[in-house]
């Protein structure tokens, strides 16, 4: 029996395809990377099906690429060497929400929108950390790529919120991580050897997560947005350091755009929330006073007349930036997500604008402050998907901002293969060897999303 027929025997003919229409779709993503061809697409429904597919693939040495929403934009879920794309969106059950211990247990294909609306309907006092990404992205893949959501400045990046996992290893065993490995509870991943780290940040090269539990958080009744602006880029690190010292924020991001002209400043967007109205008022007053007294009192201004439409966009979950994907003719969007120490922001800001201008791109920045404090500094590029030159310029700009990120002592988050290579070229050789050994140990046939975290010299 051929691979296609075997896949049909495992998952059924309506959830397997090698048709040209589906393969076209699964061979590319919404970013600027070069398409690569998938051979088969499967939408498994159960862990057992995933297990059988992996055993089949290992026996036939066929690559397997797990995919959630496919929206990292860096082609991380596009197969580099063909084979099977395992579209996890078929596994879309929300298995448990524990109100008291505040966690949710979900299957790998549950989208951000599905979990959000489920919580809104059934557990309105709880929320999960929602990224600014399109609603069709999956909660699990986002946590696995160390994504960040609208409450990350307060509670940490989304991978920190994982409390347990069920994983199908590349050799076919199903493995539980955290308290669920001892008892049917999913409330914590330790104290135990922290095996979650074998699957977080690896881009599906070490196993397929079929279930994941993650923390939920109380949803405050009162929320508001306060915006402050400055033209002094050099003040940004100090503002972030001081503002986060107070430990009172729900979300904190910075935005700036060259056009329209009124956006051509650095805007600090503070989302404040409170369980009590008085709490919110107190926080707002503290920040107003803080900025009034900051740097002699005349460098950072409170934006009094924030347009109601903009206020709504900032307060939406997911907020503003998800809309950025479409702000130019052609609808292409791509970015270097640079995780940077905050003191490097002014240099990154200026050099990022230089890079964009060199490639004829208008500057548009959205950066989210992360705990630490650190920052996810977004070098954003929108491009016309129908214009080859524009795509080529975007790739070159992306490569430059990736390099700049490493030169500034940062890391490229969810980097495409080029960015991964730059990281591995700079990495401590023993660390790189450890990564390679772990991968080999878990995936002896080298079938899992090959091409990612793969050193060029075969170490
Ligand atoms: C406009 C826009 C704004 C964005 N803003 C944010 C933001 O604010 N915060 C943020 O965090 N992200 C953001 N993103 C990036 C990205 O869309 C999200 O991080 C998204 O959640 C990734 O999830 P996905 O389901 O699309 O992952 P995918 O692209 O499908 O997968 C990501 C990686 O995980 C692997 N993988 C997928 N599922 C599994 C599994 N079950 N087991 C093992 N490996 C698996 C894949 O092989 C791939 O390597 C944004 C994207 C866009 C387009």
Token pair for 10: 């495992």
SS3 content of the chain, % helix, strand, coil (to 5): 40, 25, 35
Peptide linkage before 318 cis (omega within 30 of 0): yes
Residue 98: predicted pLDDT:
98
Q: What pTM did the predictor assign?
A: 0.96
Average pLDDT over residues 185-195: 96
Q: What is the C-alpha to C-alpha distance for residues 321 and 313, in angstroms, rounded to an integer? A: 9
Average pLDDT over residues 53-64: 97
- The residue whose CB lies within 8 Å of the most ligand 1 atoms, and thus the one to mutate among 27, 133, 370, is 133
Please name every residue paired with 218 in a beta bridge, in sequence order, or none if there are none: 126
The percent of residues in the chain predicted with pLDDT above 90, rounded, is 83
Average pLDDT over residues 41-68: 98
pLDDT band at 165 (very low <50, low <70, confident <90, very high): very high
Q: Which atom of ligand 1 is nearest to the CA of 203?
A: 49
Token pair for 94: 């929300």
Please determine, for residue 324, whether its predicted confidence score (pLDDT) is greater than 70. Answer: no
Give Dmax over CA atoms of the chain in angstroms.
Answer: 76
- The residue whose CB lies within 8 Å of the most ligand 1 atoms, and thus the one to mutate among 33, 113, 115, 142, is 142
How remote is the CA of residue 146 from the centroid of ligand 1, in Å? 9
pLDDT band at 328 (very low <50, low <70, confident <90, very high): low
How remote is the CA of residue 240 from the centroid of ligand 1, in Å? 26
The 10s digit of each residue's pLDDT in 267-306 is: 999 999 999 999 999 999 999 888 888 877 788 888 888 8
Binding-site residues, ligand 1, Cβ < 6 A:
65-73, 76-77, 88, 108, 131-134, 137-138, 140-142, 144-145, 147-148, 203-204, 208-209, 321-322, 324-325, 333, 449
**Mean of the per-residue pLDDT values of the chain:** 94
The 10s digit of each residue's pLDDT in 442-452 is: 999 999 999 99
């Amino acid at each position: 029996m051929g691979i296609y027929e075997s896949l049909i025997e495992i998952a059924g003919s309506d959830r397997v395809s090698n048709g040209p229409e589906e393969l076209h779709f699964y061979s590319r993503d919404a970013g600027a990377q070069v398409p690569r061809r998938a051979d088969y697409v499967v939408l498994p429904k159960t862990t057992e099906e995933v297990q059988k597919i992996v055993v089949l693939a290992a026996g036939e040495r066929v690559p397997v690429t797990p995919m959630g929403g496919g929206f990292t934009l860096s082609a991380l879920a596009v197969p580099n060497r063909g084979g099977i794309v395992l579209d996890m969106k078929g596994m879309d059950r929300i298995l448990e929400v524990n109100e008291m211990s505040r966690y949710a247990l979900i299957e790998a294909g549950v989208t951000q929108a599905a979990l959000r609306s489920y919580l809104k309907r059934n557990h309105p006092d709880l929320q999960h950390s929602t990224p600014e990404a399109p609603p069709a992205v999956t909660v699990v893949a986002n946590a696995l790529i160390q994504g960040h959501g609208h409450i990350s400045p307060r509670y940490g990046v989304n991978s920190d919120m994982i409390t347990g996992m069920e994983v199908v290893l590349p050799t076919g065993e199903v493995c539980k991580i955290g308290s669920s490995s001892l008892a049917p509870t999913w409330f914590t991943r330790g104290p135990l050897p922290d095996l979650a780290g074998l699957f977080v940040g690896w881009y599906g090269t070490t196993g397929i997560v079929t279930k994941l539990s993650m923390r939920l958080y109380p949803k405050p009744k009162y929320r508001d947005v306060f915006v402050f602006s400055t033209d002094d880029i050099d003040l940004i690190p100090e503002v972030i350091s001081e503002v986060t010292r107070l430990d009172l924020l729900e979300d904190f991001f910075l935005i700036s755009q060259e056009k329209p002209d009124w956006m051509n400043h650095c805007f600090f967007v503070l989302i404040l929330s409170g369980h009590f109205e008085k709490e919110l008022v107190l926080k707002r007053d503290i920040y107003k006073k803080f900025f009034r007294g900051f740097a002699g009192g005349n460098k950072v201004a409170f934006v009094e007349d924030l347009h109601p439409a903009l206020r709504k966009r900032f307060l939406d979950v997911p907020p503003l930036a998800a809309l950025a994907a479409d702000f130019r003719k052609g609808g292409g969007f791509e970015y270097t997500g640079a995780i940077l120490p905050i003191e490097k922001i002014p240099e990154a800001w200026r050099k990022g604008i230089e890079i964009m201008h060199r490639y004829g791109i208008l500057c548009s920045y959205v950066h989210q402050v992360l705990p630490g404090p650190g920052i996810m500094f977004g070098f954003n590029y929108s491009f016309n998907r129908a214009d080859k030159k524009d795509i080529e310029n975007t790739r070159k700009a992306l490569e430059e901002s990736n390099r700049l990120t490493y030169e500034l002592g940062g890391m490229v988050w969810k980097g495409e293969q080029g960015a991964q290579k730059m990281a591995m070229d700079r990495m401590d050789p023993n660390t790189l060897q450890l990564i390679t050994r772990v991968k080999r140990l878990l995936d002896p046939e080298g079938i899992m999303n090959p091409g990612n975290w793969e050193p060029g010299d075969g170490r």
